[in-house]
Structure 1
Amino acid sequence: MTFYSATQPGLTALFRVLDTLSPVSTHVSALVGIIGGIALGVLVIWLLVVLIRKLKANVPSDGTSEFAPRSNSDQIRNELQSDHTTTFDSGALLCSICENLDFYKIFLDGIPETEEIPLDSLSSILKKSYQCNFCRLISFHVRRTWMLDKFPDFDLSGIQCRLLSMSCGCLRGPFYPPPKFRCFRLHVNMEGLRDFWEKYPTSRATAGSLSIYLMQEDAFKFGRPTDLHSRRVKNTVDIDLVKKWIKLCQENHGDECHDVWRMGDGEDKNLPEYVRLVDVVSMALVPAPSGCRYMALSYVWGAVSTEYRTTTDNIAGRSTPGGLNMTTFPETITDSILFARQLGLRYLWIDALCIIQDSLQDKITQIQSMDLVYGHSYLTIMAAGGASARDPLPGCRPRTRTLKQHIEVVQGLHLCVGPPRLQETLALSVWNTRCWTYQESALSRRRLYFTEQQVYFECRGDVFCEDIVAESKGHQLSTNFLRNSRGEYFPQGDPFGSYMWAVKECTRRNLTVESDLVDALTGVMNALAIGFRLGDPARVFHCGMILTDLHCALLWQHDPHTPRTRRSLPDGVGLPLPSWAWAAWRGPVDYTSAHRYIGIVNGSGDPSVVETLVDSWYIVDHSGATVQLDVRRVSRIVSNPMTEEEKSAYSPPSGILDSMELILDVHRPLVPGTLIFRTTSSHFNIAIRGSQENGESSACLHHGLFDILSTSSPPIWVGTAVLPLDPPPPSSLEFIVLSRTSMLRVYDEQILAKYHECVFYAMAISQHEGLMQRVGLGIIHEVSWNASRPKPKVVFLR
């Protein structure tokens, strides 16, 4: 039987041949047709699967979104400035420079810094960001961190961009991992930024390094684990991820993150009974239970109604179950309570709730325990994303944070410019400008920073964040680039180094009540005294000054850009702080090396004392009694053989002071804070340096460099001092010797002999009725000091 009809002779002949085929051939043909049909069906199904997977990839499950390329530049510009995670997907959208780069090979092998690849000028990259995926990544970072909308007229064409790659580290072992575990991130260097920084110095503090990361979903393309690759940030904080960070810290960091301030095994590690906590289950204030696990909150109060705070009127009601009404609390506090519940923690410490705000005695008692409150805390939340207590904890609830993660597909690879690293984020926060928050961060073992873009976890052993896969058990030799972006690390290796850092940090921050400065550092001071076994904190510190290292503590300097102005005190509150204490003065304070005496704006290094030249120190304590201080001494190691100048070295007065020498006037008792010691004093002339030597125009500076001159004729340049410019000091000042150091280029080296450690730290003072006040600090050559015929003197410094 034939199933085809044919009208042409050729086709008729063909069908006749087919009709003569055996039945077996017919069955084979049928089988081939069936197999072909099945293959066609499989192909169709496979194409449908690919299409569906592609559509799913364009709508990720974590709330991020992908967009097709836009031809409308205004629409792209809006997306660059949008507040959600964005992914542009098109491998074809590359400029002529970027399309010639082999990004796969770059991420596979890296680019050493010596072989940087030139890209283009920054202005050209910004223009091409609407048509090139890779240029758009750079543009997104620059627009976000440089705040270019504030500097529309600056010419960026002189800034050239160059590409290299940097190692992200390795979580699995040695410093030099095999290629399988080696992860790279791209880094864009920019040349020619000096003019931009000089014109807009505030932008320098906020413009971080430009790094571009490979997303974790592409790690398999290089045969690597997802370690240290970027991951997508969700709309809300992943509680399970936070719990994982805490667990990794608990199980792998040992004493480093477990012990509180180097306390011995026999010391009580419980909170004092007078410390109150919020019970987030019963919603009441309760005395801290013994050995309880609790969370602490660090935040900015801001201009918020005081109704939510605990007072003597509501403390009784708040101490009963249900006494804390969350509807009256600002959002930072309500979110903290919710977050504690999510973590499974029952207790929470919040200063506004746990301290009776209108009780001076309760405030004093609680402030003295801040080292314990934050040191014992299981976890401290840093509300670094808000400007006041009214602001929510970003990411604690939906729609409370704006994500800043931008993803592009370049040559088939998902590349990302993520949120700023921790240091860069904190530099932009109001939280980081407040003085009280410094010690709250420094004293805490585990810190969880809530910022506008993501959450960062920091402990003494590691740093984690939502956008980087960095979770590991912390192999002893593992490396992780996030650890370079630590927000805070305290204490440092020695007590005075830790103290200097704390003073620098706190004096640069703001206080609503400026007389709170010493109180805001009390927890840090207690921790230093306990951690380094210095003794009773009340005897180790006075007016913020560390007395055990007084010879170094006296070497503080005003920030040269800050006027010399006394810090005000509330009406009716005691005496002003002594002039020798940095806390008596407004503005930032530096502890810098002697290089400050070469250039007034030089602020690097630490002061170095090679010999103490004061034998005994005394202070009038808060009760009015004069007590001797236990100040650490530093002895000089003299070279052998000695030079002629060293043989005639300065010999400081020694011995303790008798009771009569400790009295200035029997009819006028000395006030607390008066420092008493014996040294030598001498007068020298001074002359201000020119503006060029001082480094900046006098309009920008309130302290400057002065030449210290001998009183001989002709005068000799014998040293250098840093003194206030307004009001200008007199032409002659009295100096008193404190200690010995080593420095060149601070005196006339053609006239005065140069030898090892030949200069003194000397304090410039003014005198009134026998009491002296600090005016400034200087360095004077030893030979010139001896030649000035200094006189021994008992100094009463106030």
Structure 2
Amino acid sequence: MEASASNAKLCEVCSGLDIHRLTQSLHPCRNPLPCPHPDRTGSGIGLALGSIDEIKSRRLTCDICRLVAESLDKEPPDLDGECRVVESREYCKFKLPISVEARDPSITHFHLTHSFVVFYTSELDRYHGPARLWESKEKYARSSHSILDFQVRASSCFKAGDTTVASPQTEQEFLATIGGRYICTQTDIHLIRAWLHQCEHKHGKDCMPSESLRFPEGDREPIFVVDVIQSCLVDTPSRCRYVALSYVWGTAPVFTHLTENTQDLRKTGSLRSLPIPATIRDAIALVYAIGERYLWVDSLCIIQDDWKMKGTEITRMGSIYSGALFTIVAAAGDHANSGLPGVEQGTRDQVQKILKLANCELLTVIDKTPHGIDNTTWAQRAWTFQERVLSNRVLVFSESQVYWSCRVASHSEERALEEVHDIHRFQSPFPQQVTADRLSWEPLEPSKYFNLYRSLLSTYRQRHMTYKSDILNAFDGVSETLAALQNDTFLWGHPESLFSHAMLWDLIGHSARNHVEVPILDSNGSREMIPIPSWSWAAWSGVDLARLPFLLSGDYTDVKPVTRFDIVDTKRQLVRIKEQSWPDHPGDGGQALWKNEQPDQVQPDTNYPPLRAGQLRFWTSLGNMKVVRGRTGPQAPWSMYRWLPFLVYQPDQDCKIVGQDFIVIAANLHNMLTLLAIEWKDGVAYRVGQLKVPEAEWLEVENRQWRLITLG
């Protein structure tokens, strides 16, 4: 329950605050949109509160100083400085809906602001970290940062779908529904229902996959779902309306669906007596409370020791998450027993404070940045990446509150903005680095398709995973969805239609071959373990888990395919990779100076090594040239190649000049060739690095030869 609050006690300094301005969070504006009005950061109130010692000396006699002092207690003890109350940046611009009667028709929109306390340190402590891009981590100078934010509490909160509450009719009634909202210790189920109701009834098709997203027949729905009413597993009903769960297994023991217990799990009430982790149990309770019936969760809805089912379901993550009504995201904690804070009584602490003034109430803001949960374990795990990207709607549980994000709107428990319309600019507290709106539900032209693929892949490779063998599996959902959108096929993580472009990936940082093997079905239907081919980005991982290498995913704008690739399929047969020729990229690039004639078809040759699934075979130019080979540290592999004048390098423990075999795999419109550095084993070439050189430089290589390459 919300505690009652008497009027705030203010000291002589805080009494000087312009309370009327401080509490006027809604600012009318008559400028046309897009509004040229500058941000208000640092302007307006600007009242000095004093030094740290002065503020702390008044904490017992002033409620504002008490709240500021509590924030200062969390600062490093060796810092000194002063605090000042300023007016916040504008984080929302909106217009009144047509249905609302306005007092002043000349007002075109409103600005929503709040006030915050800035701590100005007297000593700068700036970060001078590693110069290398892949070693750098975002740090901030300790000077001039916000330590406490206030927002005006909304005087009434309209809930969508609540027939007992009438829609606001006037401007005053409408604005009263906008502002801060007090967060209780238990999640407001009615509010979650309101978010879902508003999305389904007002957003329509904007928040669902389009008809262009066509998955293979039978791949649209999962095999099993949890029936939260009967508390057991059931076969997924036709056209099932289900909720999905995204969470981190972590180190906690997770009860799983196995072949031996599959019949028991189908018995009514069976899930009530099993040791199911707290996060899954809370998700079941939440789905039931919201009024939905079915829940999909991987540990229960996939038979974990049935490798055939598991492999099939992993490749269907795109259809499973995009087909869910919404996805519950367990962003609190680092294991499956962390639970969903606020679902059960006593599982969420109340950290929000109330400051009651004469004409309103101020609430402290819990999330002071638009990326409030980016540092959670959930936001950094590889498996959860596609679960977020593929979900149309997400309901995110953090330690302190719940967020909602769909393709049209973003909401949080502490900010009542459900009735805001025509938002011109909005900083959402949900992390926006990779959100669902970046994964288009409509087919894209080739350049935009490739840019989307490279953006998703680069971001995915910055996520952590426990088992390197999951590196392709955790991206399969994204691959499946892109393939369905573009009528494409993915080959070891690479889009077939843009294969030459996708082959241009490179890693910057501590990386090495991971020698991961994955299961495939051979021609006899038996399971066979096959190493991920060296030419795939999935065959390479970071050697230092604390510093993941950064993946450069190639460039579409000036690349042209110059090589006809064949790939060995699971039946050990050569199949031509069908790259599409786009108007802005003419076929195979024509007859370049370095190119020899090649056969139209590649036939197996007994003089070449036996075929193995995942290998590429193609004609290209092979040569050996001297280059600079480097590494990022004494313990790192030699994986960096540079074509530069040798005089600028002095060989040392991290740099040497070597003779290296290279093959041509692509070119660009500026007569630059992309070469793969290769090493040989039993007649098969393996990728060890990448280098770009001018075509003229390659023509100077004396020992060049035209060669049929088998690239493993």
TM-score normalised by L of structure 1: 0.70
Q: CA deviation at 1:732?
A: 2.1
Deviates more, 1:509-518 or 1:241-250: 509-518
Determine whether 1:63 maps to 2:2.
yes
| Counterpart in the other structure of 1:304 | 252
Alignment of 1:658 with 2:601, yes or no, is yes
Larger deviation, residues 252-261 vs 523-532: 252-261
- Deviation at 1:530? 0.6
Q: Which residue of 1 aligns with 2:462?
A: 508
Equivalence map 1:486-501=2 (5 Å): 486=432, 488-489=435-436, 490-492=438-440, 494-501=448-455
- Which residue does the alignment assign to 1:576? 531
1:339 Cα shift? 0.9
The structural deviation recorded for 1:326 is 4.0
Q: Identify unmatched segments of 5+ residues in structure 1.
A: 1-61, 69-88, 535-539, 594-605, 639-645, 743-756
1:482 maps to 428
2:675 maps to 1:738: no
Structure 1 residues 460 and 126: alpha-carbon distance in aligned structure 2, compared to 1, 3 A threshold: farther
Q: Could you tell me which of 671, 675, 688 is aligned with 2:616? A: 675
Q: CA RMSD in A?
A: 4.5
Q: 1 CA distance for matches of 2:296 and 2:220?
A: 11
Kept after mapping to 2: 8 A contact 1:91/1:409: no
Q: 1:708 corresponds to which residue?
A: 643
Instruction: Verify the 8 A CA contact 2:351 2:400 in the aligned structure 1.
Output: yes
1:792 corresponds in structure 2 to 706
Residue 586 of structure 1 is matched in structure 2 by 541
The one-letter amino acid of 2:96's match is: R
**Where in structure 2 are the equivalents of 1:110-125 lying within 5 Å?**
112-113=38-39, 116-117=42-43, 124=51
1:630 to partner: Cα distance: 0.9
Letter in structure 2 aligned against 1:778: L
Residues 119 and 542 from structure 1, CA distance in 2 versus in 1: closer, same or farther, beyond 3 angstroms? same
Q: CA deviation at 1:688?
A: 6.0
Q: Structure 2 vs 1, CA of residues 114 and 523 (structure 1 numbering), >3 Å: closer, same or farther?
A: closer
State whether residues 168 and 480 of structure 1, in contact with CA within 8 Å, keep that contact through their aligned partners in structure 2: yes
Q: Which stretch has the larger CA shift, 781-790 or 294-303?
A: 781-790
Q: Which amino acid aligns with 1:580?
A: W
- Structure 1 residues 138 and 557, CA gap change in structure 2 (3 angstroms): farther
Amino acid across the alignment from 2:663: I
Report the residue type matching 2:323 in the other structure. H
Q: Is the 8 A contact 1:304 1:389 kept in 2?
A: yes
Report the AA paired with residue 643 of structure 2: I
Comparing 199-208 with 274-283, greater Cα deviation is found at 199-208
Q: Provide the C-alpha distance between the structure 1 equivalents of 2:120 and 2:667, rounded to a whole number of angstroms.
A: 43
Q: Is 1:518 matched with 2:518?
A: no
Specify which of 162, 167, 189 is matched with residue 239 of structure 1.
Answer: 189
- Bigger fraction of residues in helix: 1
Give, as a single letter, the amino acid of the residue that structure 2 aligns with 1:663.
Answer: D
In structure 1, what residue type is equivalent to 2:540? W
Alpha-carbon offset, residue 392 of structure 1: 2.1
Q: Distance in 2 between matches of 1:431 and 1:199?
A: 26
2-side partners of 1:380 and 1:454: how far apart?
16
- Give the C-alpha shift of residue 485 in structure 1: 4.5
The structure 1 residue matched to 2:175, chosen from 222, 225, 229, is 225
Cα gap change, 1:96/1:232 in structure 2, threshold over 3 Å: closer, same or farther? closer
Q: Distance in 1 between matches of 2:209 and 2:311?
A: 26
- Does the residue aligned with 1:521 lie in a helix, a strand or coil? helix
Corresponding residue SS for 1:586: strand
| More moved, 679-688 vs 332-341 | 679-688
Q: How does 1:328-477 map to 2 (within 5 A)?
A: 328-408=275-355, 414-420=361-367, 424-472=371-419, 475=422
Residue in structure 2 matched with residue 212 of structure 1 by the alignment: 149
Counterpart residue type for residue 675 of structure 2: A
CA contact (8 A) 1:612 1:738 kept: no
Judging changes above 3 Å, is the alpha-carbon distance between structure 1 residues 302 and 633 closer, same or farther for their aligned structure 2 residues? same
Conserved? CA contact 1:462–1:483, under 8 Å? no
Query: Does structure 1 retain, via aligned residues, the 8 Å contact 2:151–2:365?
Result: no
Secondary structure, aligned partner of 1:181 = strand
Partner amino acid, structure 1, of 2:541: R
User: Which one has a bigger Cα radius of gyration?
Assistant: 1
Partner of 2:112: 183
User: Mean Cα displacement is larger for which, 191-200 or 357-366?
Assistant: 191-200
What are the ranges of 5 or more consecutive residues in structure 2 without an aligned counterpart? Answer: 30-36, 99-104, 131-135, 157-169, 520-526, 543-547
Where 1:765 maps in the other structure, the secondary structure is strand
What amino acid sits opposite 2:605 in the alignment?
I
Native 8 Å contact 1:300 1:383 kept in 2: yes
- Within 1, Cα distance between the matches of 2:681 and 2:175? 72
What secondary structure is seen at the aligned counterpart in 1 of 2:114?
strand
Q: Contact 2:84–2:117 at 8 Å: present in 1 too?
A: no
In the superposition, relative to structure 1, how do residues 335 and 104 fare at CA in structure 2: closer, same or farther (>3 Å)?
closer
SS state at 1:792 partner: strand
Whole-angstrom CA distance in 1 between matches of 2:312 and 2:585: 46
Shift of 1:776: 1.6
1:286 counterpart residue number: 234
Distance 1:378 1:415 in 2: 35
Aligned counterparts of 1:319 and 1:180: Cα–Cα separation in 2: 55
- 1:557 matched residue in structure 2: 506
Other-structure match for 2:573 = 625
Of residues 326-335 and 491-500 in structure 1, the stretch that sits farther from structure 2 once superposed is 491-500
Which residue in the other structure is 1:641 paired with? Answer: none
- AA partner of residue 230 (structure 1): G
CA change 1:726–1:741 in 2 (3 A) is farther
1:132-147 aligned at under 5 Å gives the runs: none
| Whole-angstrom distance in 2 between the partners of 1:411 and 1:735 | 76
- Kindly indicate whether the alpha-carbon contact (under 8 Å) linking 1:765 and 1:772 is maintained by their aligned counterparts in 2: yes
Aligned mate of 1:255, from 202, 205, 219: 205
Give the Cα separation in 1 of the matches to 2:455 and 2:706: 35
What is the deviation of 1:126?
8.5
Change (3 A) 1:468 1:736: same
**8 Å CA contact 1:557, 1:589 repeated in 2:** no
Whole-angstrom CA distance in 2 between matches of 1:585 and 1:411: 63
1:206 and 1:354 map into 2 onto residues whose CA distance is 47
- Aligned to 2:90, which of 158, 166, 179? 166
Once the two structures are superposed, the pairs formed by residues 527-538 of structure 1 within 5 Å of their partners are 527-534=481-488
* C-alpha distance in structure 1 between counterparts of 2:247 and 2:287, whole Å: 15
The answer to which of 195-204 and 680-689 deviates more is 195-204
Which deviations, in whole Å up to 9, do the C-alpha atoms of 1:666-718 show, x marking residues without a partner? 5x3122111122222333322368xxxx9xx84797678654157xxxx799x
How far does the alpha carbon of each residue in 1:296-333 deviate from its partner, in whole angstroms, 9 at most, with x for none? 11112222335x32212211122122333345222112
Identity score, percent: 24
- SS across alignment from 2:198: helix
Q: State the shift of 1:411 in Å.
A: 9.0
Show CA shifts across 1:89-146 (max 9, x none). 23436469967996367875899448844969999469736647667666766877xx
Structure with the larger strand share: 2
The offset of 1:465, in angstroms, is 1.0
In 2, the alpha carbon distance for the partners of 1:292 and 1:610 equals 45
Determine the C-alpha separation between the residues in 1 that align with 2:409 and 2:695.
Answer: 48
Letter of the structure 2 residue corresponding to residue 785 of structure 1: W
> How many residue pairs were aligned?
650
| Range with greater deviation from structure 2 (524-533 or 366-375) | 366-375
Q: Is the contact made by 1:418 and 1:467 (CA closer than 8 Å) also made in structure 2?
A: yes
Contact 2:458/2:552 (8 A) holds in 1: no
Distance in 1 between residues matched to 2:223 and 2:662, nearest whole Å: 48
Instruction: Give, in whole Å, the separation in 1 of the partners of 2:257 and 2:305.
Output: 8
